[in-house]
Amino acid sequence: MDSMESYNLRNAAITMFYDVMNDLKYAESRGAGRNSLLSIIMKEWIISMSVFIPHTSEEYWHRYIQDSFVSTATLERPSFQGWEDAIISEEEYLQEIIGDIREIGKATGIWPSKVIISVAGNKLVEMVRKINQEGTKNLDPWEKQFVPEFMKNRKRISQRVNDEFSLLQESRSYISDTLGCSVEIIIDEPGKSKKTAWPGRPSILLQ
């Protein structure tokens, strides 16, 4: 919509045509049914595309949406329910992890047969929550030993995903299919492995 308002027609066309198709493909790869997705967005998608392909849009509008003209239909700004942000954050988190694994593979020249992703355990999750809400004053002695490492990595530590372990566990077969190797998800307890897994910043081991 913003691109249309500013006459950035190329950007608008690419967003409405290629980006929507790519998003559909992505959603399908994550297990969604194309038809059920389309039934949610089809009306708005046809209105958006009618700017660029008016004749075809009119035909499909008449046939499948309603007996009126798409050229007179108005496109409302979508009203978000609130839960979309959480889902988008989770998907971004997932893509970042896949991207990181690919980068590690490229940098080391190793293409793994297995990837172990360790997510932060409850103790560190709770510690980060405390620091974010109250600062470092009320940390117990065990937690305080991790403060220097937390400070060093704080830019990349975040609690944008509520339950990293469940998300990665549910997405295990997707990650495995995307990377072409087996994937194991574990909960890391500090001190057990060389590198500590933090909320939003899991540790990755390629085998």
Partner 1 sequence: MSGNNGKYSGMSVKEARELIKSDLMADGNAFIFYETSRKAETRSGSKVIVAVLRDQWFIDYGVGWWKESSRKLVENMKFYPEFYRKNMIDAIDWLRERPCARRRGLGTKLPMDPRWVIESLSDSTIYPEVYTNIMQLKKIKEVLGNLDVSLMEYIYGYSESIPDDVPENIHETIIKAREARDYWYGVDLRLTAYPHMSNHLAFYVMNHAALFKGKDLPGGLVVSSLVVSNGSKISKSKGNVISLLSITRKYSADIYRLYVAVSADIGSTMDWNENDLSSVIGNMRISWRSWRISGMQNQKAQGLKDGLKRVSEKISPPSWTAWKAIICAMPP
- Which residues contact partner 1 (rule: CB under 8 A)? 6-10, 12-14, 17-18, 21, 24, 34-35, 38-39, 42, 45-46, 49, 52-56, 60, 63-65
In the DSSP assignment, the letter for residue 70 is: G
- Which CB sits closer to partner 1, 10 or 77? 10
- Which CB sits closer to partner 1, 56 or 71? 56
Q: Least distance from C-beta 52 to partner 1, angstroms?
A: 5
166, containing H or E segment: helix 164-170
- Which CB sits closer to partner 1, 66 or 207? 66
Question: How far is it, in rounded angstroms, from Cα 20 to Cα 29?
Answer: 14
Q: Least distance from C-beta 79 to partner 1, angstroms?
A: 22
Phi, psi values for residue 113, rounded to 5°: -90, -20
- Which CB sits closer to partner 1, 38 or 147? 38
Q: Least distance from C-beta 62 to partner 1, angstroms?
A: 10
Mark out the alpha helices in 9-82 (DSSP H runs): 9-14, 20-29, 34-49, 54-60
* Angle, CA 121 vertex, CA 120 and CA 123 arms, to 5°: 115
Asked whether 186 and 90 are in contact (CB, 8 A), the reply is no
Of 41, 42, 24, the residue nearest 33 (C-alpha): 24
Q: Least distance from C-beta 6 to partner 1, angstroms?
A: 8
Q: Least distance from C-beta 183 to partner 1, angstroms?
A: 30
- Which CB sits closer to partner 1, 48 or 196? 48
Q: Least distance from C-beta 172 to partner 1, angstroms?
A: 27
- Which CB sits closer to partner 1, 45 or 198? 45
Mark out the alpha helices in 63-162 (DSSP H runs): 83-108, 122-134, 141-144, 147-153
Of 9, 2, 6, 19, the residue nearest 52 (C-alpha): 9
